[in-house]
Amino acid sequence: MNQHTNPDREARSILIANDRGGYTIPTEGLYPYQWNWDSAIAALGFAQFDLDRAWTEIETLFTGQWEDGMVPHILFHQQDEGYFPGPDVWGCNGPIPSSGIIQPPIAATMARKIWEQDTAFGDARMKELFPKLLAWHRWIMKWRLDEFGAVCTTHPWEAGRDNAPDWDNSMARMDASDVGEYQRRDTSHVNSDDRPTKFDYDRYIKLVQIGRDAGWDQQALLSLNPFRVADPTMTFTTLRAARDVLMISEKLELEAEGLSEDIEKLESGARSLWNEDLGSFDSRDAHTGEMAESISNASYLCWYAGMESDRMLKGLKSVLETVPYPVPSYDPDMPKFDARRYWRGPTWAFMNMMIGFGLADMEHAQQAEQLRQKTAELISGYGFAEYFDPKTGSPAGGQAFTWTAAVWLHWAG
């Protein structure tokens, strides 16, 4: 452990150093573009010392919004050879070169927090942003729901938990034998043992090819895309965003027709992800109906979405007692747990923060505080890494990472 003596200062300098003018890259080298949910978290970090810059982060993200309301998962503002797949591989036609998928819609929730903090200009900035937030919500309701009202991810990158065990069975059913040659860039920046495997990467790229060949036509992709999994990340974040958008519309007297019905639909969708045998919220393959049997950190986002669960609380209490640096992205008692391989075990500080928001909102103040303190210990002890080994705390992935710095400033520190 290497104590970081002035984490406040360090966190601010990371945000400033990763600022590319109106948007923030997750980390130098590995991720040189604007990522959707990373930006929403970055905005919370900026809000602690520069509210104007916080709004700008989210506003820049929405400059990439497609005409139909979709907000891409990556905006390629400036070409950079250090990342693959770049804009040419995605072949999209939005207002800014971008990817063709989304990420968990947390922007509305983080924007609400900034709006509540900004008593001077908050209302004006929010009124501008609001129709864009609503359009994105409606796009998700139109294209991503399964028959039960749960929200699907159509690419492992869409849920943001790239190589989570949740997708293993669905990925194994996919044929990527004709994906062709390509050159990964991620493993030239960080240790390949900490990254997704080639088996997974072939399928990530194959899915991009399928989307591009279909011109990112969502109607066509409903049948063409072999990967469609209803998952807790997409479902809980969409539900929470819908609640926040509704609340904002009421306060600012803005039109938001149909939102209450959407919330009801999403609540039943969220309940449909409950796996009684596992005792957890889980993912479900939308093509086969098969549950993934995965307890992940996304399962614990139920409170963030306003869903109470005694079983989840019991599970979380045990994780807080038994795992030195919680919350692991995958249950350490399960055979597929891997302490360093990305979303198959490691702890992610920003996920902790969102779990913490939910716990605090639903009157589990003690667990929220315990999680906050443990996250603070992790960051002040091991630095601003992309993610951490939940058993030893050892840092992994990219360094000087934007969302870890933002979490420190807004919540943990």
Please give the Cα distance from 404 to 387 (Å, whole number). Answer: 8
Report the residue number, 66 or 157, with the smaller CB distance to ligand 2M8: 157
Contact between 304 and ligand 2M8 by CB under 6 A: the answer reads no
Please give the Cα distance from 310 to 323 (Å, whole number). Answer: 20
Q: How far apart are the first and last CA of the chain?
A: 17
User: 């990158």: which residue's tokens?
Assistant: 157
Q: How many residues bind ligand 2M8, per CB under 6 A? A: 10
Residue 246: both structure tokens together: 């509704």
For the bound state, the minimum distance from the C-beta of residue 186 to ligand 2M8, rounded and expressed in Å, comes to 6
Q: Is 162 a catalytic residue?
A: yes
Q: Would you tell me how many other CB atoms lie within 10 Å of the CB of residue 310?
A: 7
Nearest residue relative to ligand 2M8 (C-beta): 160
Selected range binding ligand 2M8 among 33-41, 108-116, 211-219, 254-262, rule: CB under 6 A:
33-41
Contact between 46 and ligand 2M8 by CB under 6 A: the answer reads no
| Pair 236, 161: CB distance under 8 Å | no
Report the residue number, 163 or 309, with the smaller CB distance to ligand 2M8: 163
Report the residue number, 157 or 274, with the smaller CB distance to ligand 2M8: 157
User: In whole angstroms, how far apart are CA 400 and each of 126, 148, 286?
Assistant: 30, 40, 37
Contact between 158 and ligand 2M8 by CB under 6 A: the answer reads no
Kindly state the greatest CA–CA separation across the chain. Answer: 56
> Which among 158, 162, 166, 186 is annotated as catalytic?
162
Contact between 383 and ligand 2M8 by CB under 6 A: the answer reads no
Selected range binding ligand 2M8 among 156-164, 210-218, 221-229, 323-331, rule: CB under 6 A:
156-164
For the bound state, the minimum distance from the C-beta of residue 271 to ligand 2M8, rounded and expressed in Å, comes to 25
For the bound state, the minimum distance from the C-beta of residue 320 to ligand 2M8, rounded and expressed in Å, comes to 23
For the bound state, the minimum distance from the C-beta of residue 37 to ligand 2M8, rounded and expressed in Å, comes to 6
Q: Would you tell me how many other CB atoms lie within 10 Å of the CB of residue 359?
A: 23
Q: Phi/psi at 232 (nearest 5 deg)?
A: -65, -30
Report the residue number, 118 or 166, with the smaller CB distance to ligand 2M8: 166
For the bound state, the minimum distance from the C-beta of residue 162 to ligand 2M8, rounded and expressed in Å, comes to 5
Q: What ranges make up the beta strands (E) of 209-333?
A: 229-230, 274-275, 280-281, 284-285
| Pair 375, 324: CB distance under 8 Å | no
For the bound state, the minimum distance from the C-beta of residue 157 to ligand 2M8, rounded and expressed in Å, comes to 4
Contact between 194 and ligand 2M8 by CB under 6 A: the answer reads no
Contact between 244 and ligand 2M8 by CB under 6 A: the answer reads no
User: Which of 292, 287, 344 lies closest to 154 in space, CA to CA?
Assistant: 287
Angle, helices 107-117/51-62, rounded to nearest 10 degrees: 150
Contact between 37 and ligand 2M8 by CB under 6 A: the answer reads yes
Q: Is 118 a catalytic residue?
A: no
Report the residue number, 26 or 122, with the smaller CB distance to ligand 2M8: 26
Binding residues among 62-91 for ligand 2M8 as defined by CB under 6 A? 73
SS3 at position 284: strand
For the bound state, the minimum distance from the C-beta of residue 36 to ligand 2M8, rounded and expressed in Å, comes to 7
Report the residue number, 286 or 351, with the smaller CB distance to ligand 2M8: 351
The alpha carbon torsion through 191, 193, 196, 202 (nearest 10 deg) reads 90
Report the residue number, 94 or 160, with the smaller CB distance to ligand 2M8: 160
User: In whole angstroms, how far apart are CA 154 and each of 216, 232, 268?
Assistant: 12, 13, 20
Residue 289: both structure tokens together: 């109906």
Please give the Cα distance from 304 to 108 (Å, whole number). Answer: 13
Contact between 26 and ligand 2M8 by CB under 6 A: the answer reads yes
| Sequence-ordered alpha helix ranges (H) in 50-177 | 51-62, 87-90, 107-117, 122-143, 168-172
Report the residue number, 198 or 314, with the smaller CB distance to ligand 2M8: 198
Put residue 388 in one of left, alpha, beta given phi > 0 → left and psi -120 to 50 → alpha: beta
For the bound state, the minimum distance from the C-beta of residue 342 to ligand 2M8, rounded and expressed in Å, comes to 7
- Which one of residues 90, 157, 227, 325 is an interface residue with ligand 2M8 (CB under 6 A)? 157
User: In whole angstroms, how far apart are CA 131 and each of 7, 71, 223, 278?
Assistant: 37, 13, 30, 39
- Which one of residues 10, 118, 162, 200 is an interface residue with ligand 2M8 (CB under 6 A)? 162
- Which one of residues 14, 34, 35, 242 is an interface residue with ligand 2M8 (CB under 6 A)? 35
Q: Which of the residues are catalytic?
A: 162, 386
Q: Which residues bind ligand 2M8 (CB under 6 A)?
A: 26, 31, 35, 37-38, 73, 157, 160, 162, 186
